[in-house]
Amino acid sequence: MRDAGYMTLRVACVGAGYFSRFHIGSWKRMPRATLVGVCDHDLAKAAATGAPAFDDLQTMLAKVRPDILDIILPPKGHADTIRAGLAAGVRAIICQKPFCRDLDEARTMAGLAQKAGIPLIVHENFRFQPWFRCIRQALEVGTIGDVLQVTFRLRSGDGQGADAYLDRQPSFREMQRFLIHETGVHYIDTFSYLLGEPSHVYADLRQINPSIAGEDAGYVIFDFSTGARALLDGNRCLDHRADNTRRTMGEGLFEGTKGTLTLGGDGAVSLRRFGTQEEQILLAPDTHDGFGGDCTHALQLHVISGLLDRQEFENTASEYLSVIKIEEAIYRSDMTHRKVELDDHGPEPD
């Protein structure tokens, strides 16, 4: 029997829209994965990926028999596709975020995957960005002491004008819930990854661009039991200093009793010790030409390692339910103008 480290897993993707290029490009350069099919209702789009193309999911599953099903669809397509993958007996499923249409559906899908014994991983890739991995490592060893304040200024710079998002992801324009549901959810997960689950949230959201349906700016404050607080200051109509505003999507400060970590728009992470002026570079500026420091590739490598090297998975669907609950609490806070206590957070029981 060949050593697991040299096995190759068969991967099939569902969805050939804008963001699929990052998934598919990653699978194509992964030595322990082989892309065996792409399915899309538009067969021409599937064929343009260069992989065997299908416009019917069941046909693809029966013909290529993938080990991993990678779902790159909007939320309305998640449940049926997950069910199909589970029925086909794949070894693992990856599903893009926002995960499912609502918490109830997400809970049902997580339960079905657990019952089948098949890992269902939410493609929540921001925590896999190299700068957040670097910051997590620095926090774990106490580099800045006790963390008191985290601030992230989300400034993607792509939300102005009547044609906002049309050239890349036009579905953004129709989302009744946008800033938090589509983008802010990344930082719910990332703050939890860095600081643990929050205990309370307070939100004040607003819509700036009248050409879209949902909110595109606002503040969200997260309280943590450690005494730390985090502020997500989001505004998609503004930008930040960067050659590519979608690399980091903004700028961050991580402030503690012994120092401050700064995340710049170039992906660099620097450390300034408390009471000093000098800065030490912990992570050099990012040079990856694609999305988010190649975080899609990092997440997909993580899934391969989970299957072949028996490493523990991050972002399982059951764990990710807490992110959806926090998102719901944020919208509830904005509607009621009150701080909301998160009295039911954490992974769902098996």
- CATH number of the domain enclosing 160: 3.30.360.10
Residues 269 and 134 in one domain: yes
Residues 18 and 108 in one domain: yes
66 within a domain of the structure (yes/no)? yes
Q: Domain count of the chain?
A: 2
103 within a domain of the structure (yes/no)? yes
CA distance 99 to 182: 10
Number of H helices, E strands in the chain: 10, 15
Q: What is the pLDDT tens value at each position of the chain, 350 positions in all?
A: 334 446 899 999 999 999 999 999 999 999 999 999 999 999 999 999 999 999 999 999 999 999 999 999 999 999 999 999 999 999 999 999 999 999 999 999 999 999 999 999 999 999 999 999 999 999 999 999 999 999 999 999 999 999 999 998 999 999 999 999 999 999 999 999 999 999 999 999 999 999 999 999 999 999 999 999 999 999 999 999 999 999 999 999 999 999 999 999 999 999 999 999 999 999 999 999 999 999 999 999 999 999 999 999 999 999 999 999 999 999 999 999 999 999 744 444 33
Residues 50 and 91 in one domain: yes
Question: What secondary structure letter does DSSP report for 323?
Answer: H
Q: Are 327 and 101 in contact (CB under 8 A)?
A: no
Residues 20 and 76 in one domain: yes
> What pLDDT score does 196 carry?
96
> What pLDDT score does 343 carry?
79
CA distance 203 to 222: 9
For 194, what's the count of Cα atoms within 13 Å in the CB-facing half-sphere? 34
Check which CATH number belongs to the domain holding 113 and give it: 3.40.50.720
Q: Which residues pair with 35 in a beta bridge?
A: 11
Residues 131 and 24 in one domain: no
343 within a domain of the structure (yes/no)? no
**Cα dist from 279 to 98, 118, 182, 273, 331, whole Å:** 37, 46, 34, 8, 38
Domain containing residue 95: 4-123+298-316
324 within a domain of the structure (yes/no)? no
178 within a domain of the structure (yes/no)? yes
> Residue ranges of the alpha helices (H) in 67-147?
78-88, 103-116, 130-140
Closest C-alpha among 263, 213, 240, 230 to residue 330 = 230
Residues 30 and 49 in one domain: yes
Strand segments, DSSP code E, in the chain are 9-14, 33-39, 53-54, 68-71, 92-96, 120-123, 147-154, 198-206, 217-224, 229-235, 250-256, 259-263, 269-273, 280-283, 340-341
Question: What secondary structure letter does DSSP report for 313?
Answer: P
Residues 280 and 302 in one domain: no
Residues 118 and 190 in one domain: no
- How many other C-beta atoms lie within 10 A of the C-beta of residue 96? 23
Residues 209 and 312 in one domain: no
Residues 155 and 206 in one domain: yes
Residues 20 and 108 in one domain: yes
185 within a domain of the structure (yes/no)? yes
227 within a domain of the structure (yes/no)? yes
- How many other C-beta atoms lie within 10 A of the C-beta of residue 148? 14
329 within a domain of the structure (yes/no)? no
Residues 20 and 86 in one domain: yes
